[in-house]
Amino acid sequence: MSTFSAFVLSRDDDGQQQLAWTELTDDDLMEGDVTVDVSHSAVNYKDGLALTGSSPVVRRWPMIPGIDFAGTVAASSHDDFSAGDPVILNGWGAGETHLGGYTQRARVPGDWLVPLPPAFTPAQAMAIGTAGYTAMLCVLALESHGIVPGVGPILVTGASGGVGSVAVALLSALGHEVIASTGRTEEADYLRDLGATEVMDREELSGPSRPLGKERWAGAVDSVGSHTLANVLAGTRYGSTVAACGLAQGMDLPGSVAPFILRGVTLAGVDSVLASKPARLEAWSRLARDLDPARLDSITQTRPVADAPSLAPEILAGRIRGRVVLTIP
């Protein structure tokens, strides 16, 4: 029986989390009809929560963390995949209820996998990862509500993070005027290089909101939630749409119904974890078409998977710019 190694999260007798690089066998893998040799993963906000224990993200113990991976099919009984196929996984409970991507080998249901687009290497796919794929789902949500280039500026909150960086790059490439909101104003040049036309301090949005404010943007991508999302909604133009996908500031929404009933604003919730296969395929197809690889490279750093534990508190504190790709030894 072949062996492989993985980061394994476990709990000691006192309920404290432990993380160790551990040797496993194929019998330790969970059920699935596709086995993948993993080459790359990534650090997402949810990975930070899992690795630090800051939130009860992990619901099965022991657990291999990592909500993303890219690699090559080693064995498959699924009709869509054969040995040697390059594939991507995002979400579906990986790293939460199903063994995740910080491993040399994974076994998952084939319906969870997406073929790697020829435009990307496995490393680039993980530079996009759940964060970038979620950003594309947000863009698609805006487009489905008629938010197209020329209707007015689009606000992106948390703009220097993973979702925000990819959203700024995508929206600007599509021809939108982009306002980037960030708590790291020293990243203004970085955001303008990605295509932002204006950079605003997040302090303008992070406090308690009024029911309605000046109509400033024709759409928004919000990964922050709480007071920020309430302020975003209050400043959204009549008949426009906000795509909400995150909770970095909090899960609450301390706002008013006024934007919805007086301005006809749409709040479009975006979930990437359980998105349908067609939605995933469309998102990755559009990423391959619309995301400039040069801009992707500019937001990406590459680290070994052994660095994941030290990166986890950094991403939760908002100190990581863009995306971190993890190489699996």
pLDDT tens readout for residues 141-191: 999 999 999 999 999 999 999 999 999 999 999 999 999 999 988 999 999
Burial degree of 314 (CB within 10 A; 0-12, 13-18, 19+): middle
Region 20-43: what's the mean pLDDT? 96
Coil vs helix vs strand at 252: coil
Tell me how far the alpha carbon of residue 13 is from its chain's centroid: 33
CB 111 within 8 A of CB 87: no
Coil vs helix vs strand at 15: coil
**Better-predicted residue by pLDDT, 298 or 106:** 106
Confidence of residue 2 (pLDDT cuts 50, 70, 90): confident
**Matching residue, tokens 């492989």:** 4
pLDDT tens readout for residues 44-77: 999 999 999 988 899 999 999 999 999 999 999 9
The fraction of the chain above a pLDDT of 70, given in percent, is: 100
Phi-psi region of 328 (alpha: psi -120 to 50; beta: other; left: phi over 0): beta
The whole-angstrom separation of Cα 13 and Cα 67 is 26
CB 108 within 8 A of CB 32: yes
| pLDDT at residue 205 is higher than 90 | yes
**Matching residue, tokens 């950094």:** 314
Region 4-28: what's the mean pLDDT? 93
- pLDDT value for 100: 97
Handedness of CA 249, 225, 165, 191 (dihedral sign): negative
Closest alpha carbon to 266 in 138, 145, 143, 151? 145
CB 155 within 8 A of CB 231: no
The whole-angstrom separation of Cα 175 and Cα 247 is 27
pLDDT tens readout for residues 207-243: 999 999 999 999 999 999 999 999 999 999 999 999 9
- pLDDT value for 188: 94
Region 1-10: what's the mean pLDDT? 91
| pLDDT at residue 1 is higher than 60 | no
| pLDDT at residue 99 is higher than 60 | yes
In Å, the largest CA–CA distance within the chain is 65
- pLDDT value for 14: 85
| pLDDT at residue 317 is higher than 70 | yes
Q: Answer yes or no: pTM beyond 0.75.
A: yes
Domains and their CATH numbers in the chain: 3-116+299-327 (3.90.180.10), 129-269 (3.40.50.720)
